[in-house]
Amino acid sequence: MSERAELSQPLYGSDRPESAQREAFGSGEFPVAVYGLGKMGLPIATVFGEATGAVTGVDVDESVVDTINDGDCHVTNEPGLPEAVADLVDAGSLSATTDAVRAAEQARIHVVIVPTLVTEDDRPDTSVVTSVARDVARGLSPGDLVCIESTLPPRTCRDVVAPLLRYESGLDGDDFGLAFCPERTKSGRALADVRGTHPKVVGGIDAESTRAAELVYGELTTNRVIPVSDTTTAEAVKVFEGLYRDVNLALANELARFTDELDIDVREAIETANTQPYCDIHMPGPGVGGHCIPYYPYFVLNWLETPAPLLATAREVNDATPAHVVGLLEGKLDGHGKTLGGSTVVVLGLTYRGGVAETRASPAIDICRTLADRGATVYASDPLVDAEGVPATWVHHDEVGQIDADAVILATDHEEFESLDWRSFPRSSVVIDTHDVLDADRIGRDVYVVGRGD
Ligand SMILES: NC(=O)C1=CN([C@@H]2O[C@H](COP(=O)(O)OP(=O)(O)OC[C@H]3O[C@@H](n4cnc5c(N)ncnc54)[C@H](O)[C@@H]3O)[C@@H](O)[C@H]2O)C=CC1
Ligand SMILES: CC(=O)N[C@@H]1[C@@H](OP(=O)(O)OP(=O)(O)OC[C@H]2O[C@@H](n3ccc(=O)[nH]c3=O)[C@H](O)[C@@H]2O)O[C@H](C(=O)O)[C@@H](O)[C@@H]1O
């Protein structure tokens, strides 16, 4: 147990008037530690820094810690973040450290936003969160509040995190608070989202934890705070949002396969169907990637005992979509008297989404792998990442047109590709657009759009 408990008022279990607690939060009387300073953690630490003036960020990566302490920002493509980090560090409101236990000893509010992983056999792996929970426990004091923002398989706070915090700290369950407060942000707009694009959901392990979390996030967000019954409900809210998106995307990707048989533009049909207020079908694409949506189904499928055949099928459909794109290309090459094996194919984009430097579960990489497995020579170009670990030769997007390509697949809708000079690509190259962003008139050749047909 730390000495710091004597130094400041408790937050969890406080009997001070709520207005005094809110004022104390704003004046930095409840120091905050944010564990994990990645794409989500740094924006969260920033918003806590703006609200309290007293944040310590914790990360295992020394280069991340050094960068932040220099007032610099390692997270790219987040509008306003570099300026906000520089200002906070300059003002002494934000600093970073690799010493998690020391940061925990000095903090009253602990915010955990490290990755939740999935193992090679698709089981949820919460080991990073539990490792951080151990660090927090070693510095935990009576009156502290622990807020978990990393997405978790439902029941993890109740069955894993709470017992672990109690055991490792030696404190009783009613000495400290624990709440699950899911992060509902999206890369590219994280700062704005944390500040309040969506309502903030909080669910505590007991009523006092929910009250304390509601108070904290009420001061942080410009939106409203929705308290739910318990940590498991809050965990389920976040996972359900992801499941909805994965199933909806599977529907869109399956509908796109009707394109040729119906001879319609499936996107036109979806967009028109969505004008009816009860219909909200997403758009087809090359598949579903990123370190969130493709993983959350396994927080249910390989975690709960109740069968979930719909979720499993949606995963299968989405996972099969990159191979479907390659199948479309094969058909088009066949029409040009060419075979896939032996063809040279350029894949534009490697990240899972335009503008985000993240390649985990990227369908673009699955497309490269499938092409290489089928005997094609593969070149890949991405303005944000290189092709390390991908069976493709990386080429700068300014030079990509010099490749004598039989085919080009636009796999990621990076805005840099909008200004690509297509004149140098061979006129005969087959072009497949998985996002419906290429303008056939501008690039001067036929484009086969996934979901639109010929
Ligand atoms: N990226 C997204 O779009 C969203 C992510 N989330 C949730 O947030 C979690 C984190 O996501 P990102 O910030 O995007 O991940 P990230 O990979 O960008 O950053 C994670 C950070 O945690 C650090 N870290 C790893 N182990 C640590 C440890 N033991 N102690 C301290 N720091 C440690 C890493 O060095 C890294 O800087 C996700 O796993 C997910 O559960 C929620 C909503 C959106
Ligand atoms: C609905 C929504 O905006 N969900 C976010 C999602 O963020 P993420 O960065 O994974 O982006 P996403 O827009 O869901 O895209 C996931 C994948 O789906 C694909 N995609 C997306 C929308 C669409 O109509 N068609 C499509 O094919 C994308 O290309 C990408 O490969 O997952 C985040 C998370 O849960 O961690 C969540 O916080 C974010 O709000």
Digit-coded pLDDT (tens) for 201-225: 999 999 999 999 999 999 999 999 9
Positive or negative: CA dihedral 37, 43, 44, 47: positive
Burial of 316 (0-12, 13-18, 19+ CB in 10 A): exposed
Q: What is the pLDDT of residue 6?
A: 52
Considering the segment(s) 315-449 as one domain, its CATH architecture is 3-Layer(aba) Sandwich (3.40)
Alpha helices in 221-308 (DSSP H): 231-255, 259-262, 266-273, 298-301
**Spacing, Cα 114 to ligand 1 middle (Å):** 4
> For 4-229, which CATH class?
alpha beta
Each residue of 27-78: pLDDT tens digit? Answer: 999 999 999 999 999 999 999 999 999 999 999 999 999 999 999 999 999 9
Provide the mean pLDDT of the chain: 95
**Spacing, Cα 412 to ligand 1 middle (Å):** 22
CA distance 193 to 323: 34
- How far are the Cα atoms of 15, 24, 222, 385 from residue 19, in angstroms, in the given order? 11, 9, 17, 48
Each residue of 269-297: pLDDT tens digit? Answer: 999 999 999 999 999 999 999 999 999 99
Q: How large is the greatest C-alpha to C-alpha distance in the chain, in angstroms?
A: 79
Q: Assess contact for 452 and 266: CB atoms under 8 A.
A: yes
pLDDT exceeds 50 at position 160: yes
Catalytic positions: 238, 292
Which residues of the chain form CATH 3.40.50.720? 4-229, 315-449
Percent of the chain whose pLDDT exceeds 70? 98
List strand residue ranges (DSSP E) for 74-190, in order.
Answer: 94-97, 109-112, 117-118, 124-125, 145-148, 177-180
pTM for this entry: 0.95
Mutate to test the pocket of ligand 2, among 353, 358, 434, 450 (most ligand atoms within 8 A of CB): 353
User: % helix / strand / coil in the chain, to the nearest 5?
Assistant: 45, 15, 45
Burial of 437 (0-12, 13-18, 19+ CB in 10 A): middle
Q: Is 292 in the pocket of ligand 1 (CB under 6 A)?
A: yes
Q: Is 152 in the pocket of ligand 2 (CB under 6 A)?
A: no
In 3D, which of 374, 290, 282, 278 has the Cα closest to residue 325? 374
Q: Is 291 in the pocket of ligand 2 (CB under 6 A)?
A: no
Q: Assess contact for 101 and 63: CB atoms under 8 A.
A: no
